[in-house]
């Protein structure tokens, strides 16, 4: 009876959240909602979850209270240069076409990162323009990052990031556009930071396009992993407002998991290698071969999504693991040096009834905040509950690498491949690391494994744990390297 009462209360809270923010929490996300509301309760002055939910059901929330609540409900995973094929389309085709179209008029480019979270996407857009426009100082550049989460915007404005924000991004990005502060912390260089401004905005509450909030006549709008959390009504309304905020022939970018001709019928779909984008008009994109390419380093190698040093050899398909798939033991002395136990508490114990997807989301949330040790503890706990989840081993290996615990990271990725010998990303990572270390024969073998595995995949199939890479795009990455290794 008590459980039914709790579910009734959550259903009511979901209605309150939808009414105030347009966010939609289906039943399969209620575990995450409960956890986030529990964290929010303390900031609102409530010691018990039930008291907080009862208050939410009866309170007339003020605007500042909605912002505080949003800071706990709009948790998003983000990092620099996310979905590399999208940025390739931007730097190789879209921006050069914009440059060509504006040479005879005002030299200006306006970009909006809607739902920018902690700023990695907005700064990535600034880096993309800086790399692509040869005389950028002669252009008027506007890059606006907005989010309904004020806490995320505070971090974005500092321009300070940990190594976790650079996972899966090309090495040149961190080396050329950030200042290393030590201890795994990096600061955006002023030339990039000064290109971006941030502002608090609720897509369901604030009006746009509107000159007073600088949201109008945009050339490009990024709104990735945002609309998926809204109700159908708000998705339709917001997407139309975004459409109206674009210049004629402007571009609209959503994440690969949000692509839908039914959702965005007002846009024209344009296919690029490994990516699909939307355009506002019926104007045909120029032949890609005729689009001029600006900027240096056009021959840079494709970025490596994930990297680990590797010293052991994996034979495929007759793979025999040296380490069985059991959780890696955590060195308590090392853990004590990684965090101040005096002012941090153990991460909350997630009920065993919670889905692995929810646990993974929580791990990524902790890692995004920079709490890598907390994320690792929860990841180990998740593996204790489900020793057969390949994704958790793979996620743990990336966290361990960020903590400079290479041996354990290697062990974890080996465990992932043991559980799934056809795990493409595991073999891909080993191939890339072998290339970096000059172990060319190993690299050729690992990349050949990937090629063999891809032969059974559809071109548009998204590879597990690849952060949105399709099988076709993976082929475009590995084939040039394999050709070099064969010569």
292-314 pLDDT tens trace = 333 323 333 333 333 322 222 32
Here the tokens at position 233 are 């009504």
Tens digits of residue pLDDT in 96-115: 999 999 877 789 999 999 99
Q: What one-character-per-residue DSSP string does 125-162 give?
A: HHHHHHHH-TTGGGSEEEEEEEES-HHHHHHHHHTEEE
Q: Name the residue among 370, 364, 368 with its Cα closest to residue 379.
A: 364
% of the chain with per-residue pLDDT over 70: 80
Structure tokens at 448: 């050949």
Please name the residue ranges forming H helices in 228-330: 232-244
Mean pLDDT on 439-453: 85
- Over residues 209-250, the pLDDT tens digits come to 888 888 999 999 999 988 888 888 889 999 999 999 999 999
Instruction: Please check the confidence at residue 315 and state whether its pLDDT lies above 60.
Output: no
286-295, Cβ contacts within 8 angstroms, sequence gap of 24 or more: 286/97, 288/93, 291/92, 291/93, 291/96, 291/97, 291/100, 292/96, 292/99, 292/100, 293/92, 293/96, 294/95, 294/96, 294/99, 294/132, 294/133, 294/134, 295/91, 295/131, 295/132, 295/133, 295/134
In this structure, CATH architecture of domain 84-290: 3-Layer(aba) Sandwich (3.40)
Beta strands in 235-290 (DSSP E): 246-253, 268-272, 275-279
Largest CA distance in the chain: 71
| Class of domain 332-486 (CATH, top level) | mainly alpha
Q: What phi and psi values does residue 162 have, to the nearest 5 degrees? A: -95, 175
Cα 194 off chain centre by: 23
Please name which of 138, 150, 144, 100 lies closest in space to residue 126, comparing C-alpha atoms: 144
pLDDT above 90 covers a percentage of the chain that reads 30
Would you report the helix, strand and coil content of the chain in percent, each value rounded to 5? 50, 15, 35
Q: What are phi and psi of 160, to 5 degrees?
A: -105, 130
Question: How high does pLDDT run on average in the chain?
Answer: 79
Q: Would you say the CATH fold of 332-486 matches that of 84-290?
A: no
| 264 Cβ contact list (under 8 Å, min separation 6) | 239, 252, 254, 278
Q: Where are the alpha helices (DSSP H) in 263-355?
A: 332-338
**What's the rounded mean pLDDT across residues 125-151?**
94
Sign (positive or negative) of CA dihedral 276, 281, 282, 286? negative
Domain residues of the chain, as ranges? 2-73, 84-290, 332-486
Dist. CA 14–CA 20, nearest whole Å:
10
Distance, CA of 434 to CA of 297 (rounded, Å) = 23
* pLDDT tens-digit map of 352-384: 455 777 788 788 878 877 788 888 999 988 888
Q: Which of 7-16, 156-165, 191-200 has the lowest mean pLDDT?
A: 7-16
Give the pLDDT score at 104: 77
């Amino acid at each position: 009876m008590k459980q039914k009462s709790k579910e009734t209360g959550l259903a009511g809270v979901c209605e309150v959240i939808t009414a105030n923010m347009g966010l939609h929490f289906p039943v399969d996300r209620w575990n995450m909602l409960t956890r986030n509301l529990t964290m929010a309760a303390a900031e609102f002055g409530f010691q018990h979850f039930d008291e907080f939910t009862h208050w939410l059901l009866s309170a007339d929330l003020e605007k500042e209270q909605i912002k505080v609540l949003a800071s706990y409900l709009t948790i998003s995973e983000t990092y620099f240069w996310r979905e590399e094929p999208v940025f390739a389309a931007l730097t190789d085709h879209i921006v050069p076409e914009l440059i060509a179209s504006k040479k005879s008029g005002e030299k200006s480019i306006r970009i909006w990162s809607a739902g920018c979270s902690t700023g990695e996407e907005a700064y990535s857009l600034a880096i993309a323009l800086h790399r692509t426009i040869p005389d950028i100082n002669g252009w008027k550049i506007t890059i606006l990052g907005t989010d309904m989460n004020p806490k995320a915007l505070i971090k974005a404005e500092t321009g300070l990031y940990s190594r976790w924000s650079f996972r899966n991004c090309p090495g040149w990005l961190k080396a050329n556009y950030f200042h290393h502060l030590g201890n795994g912390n990096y600061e955006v260089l002023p030339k990039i930071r000064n290109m971006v401004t941030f502002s608090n905005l609720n897509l369901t509450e604030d009006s746009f396009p509107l000159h007073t909030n600088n949201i109008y006549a945009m050339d490009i709008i990024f709104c990735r992993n945002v609309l998926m959390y809204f109700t159908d009504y708000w998705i339709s309304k917001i997407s139309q407002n975004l459409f109206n905020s674009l210049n004629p022939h402007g571009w609209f970018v959503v994440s690969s998991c949000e692509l839908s001709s039914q959702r965005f019928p007002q846009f024209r779909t344009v296919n690029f290698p490994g990516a699909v984008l939307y355009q506002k008009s019926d104007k045909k994109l120029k032949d890609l071969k005729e689009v001029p390419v600006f900027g240096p380093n056009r021959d840079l190698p494709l970025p490596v999504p994930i990297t680990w040093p590797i010293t052991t050899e994996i034979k495929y398909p007759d793979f025999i693991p040296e380490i069985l798939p059991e959780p890696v033991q955590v060195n308590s002395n090392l853990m004590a040096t990684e965090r101040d136990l005096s002012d941090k508490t153990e991460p909350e114990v997630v009920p065993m009834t919670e889905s692995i997807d929810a646990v993974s989301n929580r791990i990524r949330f902790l890692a995004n905040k920079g709490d890598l040790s907390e994320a690792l503890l929860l990841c180990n706990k998740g593996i204790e509950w489900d020793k057969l989840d390949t994704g958790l081993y793979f996620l743990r290996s990336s966290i361990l690498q960020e903590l400079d615990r290479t041996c354990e990271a290697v062990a974890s990725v080996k465990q992932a491949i043991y559980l799934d010998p056809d795990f493409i990303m595991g073999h891909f990572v080993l191939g890339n690391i072998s290339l970096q270390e000059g172990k060319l024969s190993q690299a050729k073998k690992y990349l050949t494994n990937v090629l063999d595995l891809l032969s059974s995949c559809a071109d548009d199939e998204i590879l597990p744990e690849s952060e949105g890479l399709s099988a076709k795009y993976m082929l475009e990455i590995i084939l040039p390297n394999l050709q070099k290794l064969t010569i």
